[in-house]
Amino acid sequence: MNSNKNTHKGLYIKNFGCQMNVYDGDRMQEMMSPYDYGSVNSVEDADLVILNTCHIREKATEKIYSELGRIKKSLAGKGRKTTIAVAGCVAQAEGKELVKRAPIIDLVFGPLTYHHLPEILKSFENDKSKKKKAIIDIEPPDNDKFEKLPKRLKANRNVSSFLSVQEGCDKFCTFCVVPYTRGVETSRPYSEIKNEALELIDSGVKEIILLGQNVNAWTNSYDKMDFADLIYELSLLDIKRIRFTTSHPNDMNEKLITSYKDIKKLQPYLHLPIQSGSNEVLKNMNRNYSSSEYIDIINELKSVRPDIAISGDFIVGFPGETEEDFLKTQEIISKIGYAHAYSFKYSPRPGTPAGQMEDQIEEKIKSERLSRLQDEIKKSMYNFNKKFLNKNLPILVEKETSTNYFSGRSPYLQSVHFQSDNSCIGNIVEIKITKVNENSLSGEILH
C-alpha cells in the first residue's frame, strides 16, 4: 500500500548496516518526494527500489545478492516496470561488478553521489535504446552533496533524528573499508549544519544525534570551531537532547570531555569503540592507542560525569589474535562496565591490509570467542540496567508501540516501555523503573 495517498509513484528503500545509511536513506526519500515518489512498504508496490548497502563485513555484502534474488522472484510475472537501484558502500566498492553478477540492477550510485539520483533516474527512463543499460555513478564529484539536497521534509519526522556533520575517514584501521568507500574525512560547514538542525526542529524533532564516521574529529577552520563548540552552539537551539556517534578515542580531547559536565543537553552516553583489549592487536589494527590510554579517557569522562553510559565496538578473531589477546578484550568489558556494545567476528575485506595478513584465525575459533564475549557483554548490560530498578528516569517518549503503550529513551539510551492514557510523544516524562533486563527497562509513569 502506498502510505501517502497524494503520491503516484512508489519508493521502497531498504537500509543495511550503519546509522549513516539510515540518514542517507531518509535524504534519498526526501529528495524523491518532489518527483511524486512516496514511501511504500513492499517491493511489489514500488516503481523504484533502492537497496542502501553496507560493505563493512562480508556477510553484509552477500545479503545484497540474496535480497536481489528475492526481489527478482517477487517481481516475476507482475508486469510492473520497477527500477532497481543499489546505493551505499557496496555500490561504491563493487560498481559494475554488481551489475555483472546481478543484471536486474538498473542504477548504481554511492554515498558521495546519491544527490544525483533524480538526474540519473531520468536519463535511465529516457533511454529509448532497445538494450537496457545500467547507469553506474560512483566517481566522487567535486560538488557538495549536502548543498544539492532539498530541505528536511516535515512529514513523518521522528522525535529523534540523525544529522550528518562529518563523512569519510582518514584513520585507515587495517581491517576497515570505510576510508575506501566513504572517502576522505570531511566536515560539513557550521552554517549548513545549523540550518539543517533548525529545519529538523521546525518539523518537531526534540533530539538530534550528530553523525559521522569519526564525528568527534569534526572541525571548522573558517569559524575556528571544534566539535565541542559545535555541540555547544547547537545546544542553544530549541532542542531537548543532543547525542553523537561514532567517536574515535584519539579525537577525544579535554574540552569535549568537559562538555559532558557543562552542556546539560548533551546526554550522558558515549559510543567509543576500543575494538580489542590487547595492545598487540590494537597495534596491528593501526588504532594508535593502547588499552590503558583508552581506560584513562573513560576515567576522565567518569570524573566529570560519574553516571556516563559507555558503549563500544569489538572485533574478535583479528589476524594473529591469541587466546591471551582475547582474554584481555574480555577483561575490558568488566573494567569499563559497558552499558551497551556491538561485537563482530573479524571479516577480511578486499583491499584492506588486514585482509592480506597471514595468520588469519579459523572460523570456529572466531565463533567461539564471539559467543564468550557476547555472554560477557550481556552480563555487563544487565548490571548497568539493574542499577536503575526502583529509580526514576526522565524518558523522551518516541512512539506508541500498541494502544496506550509507549516507548522512549532514557538519558543513557536505554529503551524504556510504559503505559499511559494520554499521548506523551515528544515530551520528557518521569518513569519509575519497575523491571529491567539486558536490552530494555519498563516502568510506571509518575503524574
Site for ligand SF4 in 186-215 (CB under 6 A): 213-214
171 binds, among ligand SF4, ligand 5AD, none (CB under 5 to 8 A by kind): ligand SF4
User: What is the residue-wise DSSP string for 358-406?
Assistant: S-PPPHHHHHHHHHHHHHHHHHHHHHHHHTTTT-EEEEEEEEEEETTEE
CA distance 69 to 76: 11
CA distance 414 to 344: 21
Stretch that binds ligand SF4, among 164-172, 325-333, 353-361, 428-436 (CB under 6 A): 164-172
65 binds, among ligand 5AD, ligand SF4, none (CB under 5 to 8 A by kind): none
**Cβ(56)–Cβ(213) below 8 Å:** no
CA distance 39 to 33: 9
Question: Which residues 6+ apart lie within 8 Å of 215 measured at CB?
Answer: 165, 166, 227, 244, 245, 246, 247
Stretch that binds ligand SF4, among 16-24, 110-118, 171-179, 322-330 (CB under 6 A): 171-179
The single residue among 84, 108, 112, 176 that binds ligand 5AD, judged by CB under 6 A, is 176
346 binds, among ligand 5AD, ligand SF4, none (CB under 5 to 8 A by kind): ligand 5AD
If binding is defined by CB under 6 A, does position 414 make contact with ligand SF4?
no
If binding is defined by CB under 6 A, does position 169 make contact with ligand SF4?
yes
Stretch that binds ligand 5AD, among 150-158, 280-288, 340-348, 383-391 (CB under 6 A): 340-348
248 binds, among ligand 5AD, ligand SF4, none (CB under 5 to 8 A by kind): ligand SF4
**Cβ(338)–Cβ(380) below 8 Å:** yes
The count of residues interacting with ligand SF4 (CB under 6 A) is 10
User: What is the residue-wise DSSP string for 106-143?
Assistant: -EEE-TTTGGGHHHHHHHHHH--SSS---EEE-SPPSS
**Least distance between ligand SF4 and beta carbon 256 (Å):** 16
Backbone angles phi, psi at 160, to 5 degrees: -115, 135
**Cβ(90)–Cβ(70) below 8 Å:** no
If binding is defined by CB under 6 A, does position 287 make contact with ligand 5AD?
no
Q: Which H, E and C letters describe 284-297, residue by residue? A: HCCCCCCHHHHHHH
Q: At 86, is the secondary structure helix, strand, or coil?
A: strand
The single residue among 179, 273, 411, 443 that binds ligand 5AD, judged by CB under 6 A, is 273
Amino acid at 424: C
The single residue among 181, 275, 380, 414 that binds ligand 5AD, judged by CB under 6 A, is 275
CA distance 62 to 59: 5
Stretch that binds ligand 5AD, among 158-166, 232-240, 339-347, 398-406 (CB under 6 A): 339-347
**Least distance between ligand 5AD and beta carbon 51 (Å):** 19
Amino acid at 310: I
If binding is defined by CB under 6 A, does position 310 make contact with ligand 5AD?
no
Given the complex with ligand SF4, which of 107 and 169 has the nearer CB atom?
Answer: 169
349 binds, among ligand SF4, ligand 5AD, none (CB under 5 to 8 A by kind): ligand 5AD
If binding is defined by CB under 6 A, does position 251 make contact with ligand 5AD?
no
57 binds, among ligand SF4, ligand 5AD, none (CB under 5 to 8 A by kind): ligand 5AD
Given the complex with ligand 5AD, which of 241 and 287 has the nearer CB atom?
Answer: 287
**Which one, of 249, 260, 269, lies nearest residue 309 by Cα?**
269
CA distance 162 to 242: 10
Backbone angles phi, psi at 406, to 5 degrees: -125, 160
The single residue among 20, 56, 134, 433 that binds ligand 5AD, judged by CB under 6 A, is 56
235 burial (CB, 10 Å; 0-12 / 13-18 / 19+) is middle
Site for ligand 5AD in 312-331 (CB under 6 A): 313, 315
Q: Applying CB under 6 A, which residues contact ligand SF4?
A: 169, 171-173, 176, 178-179, 213-214, 248
Interaction site with ligand 5AD (CB under 6 A):
56-57, 175-176, 273, 275, 313, 315, 344, 346-347, 349
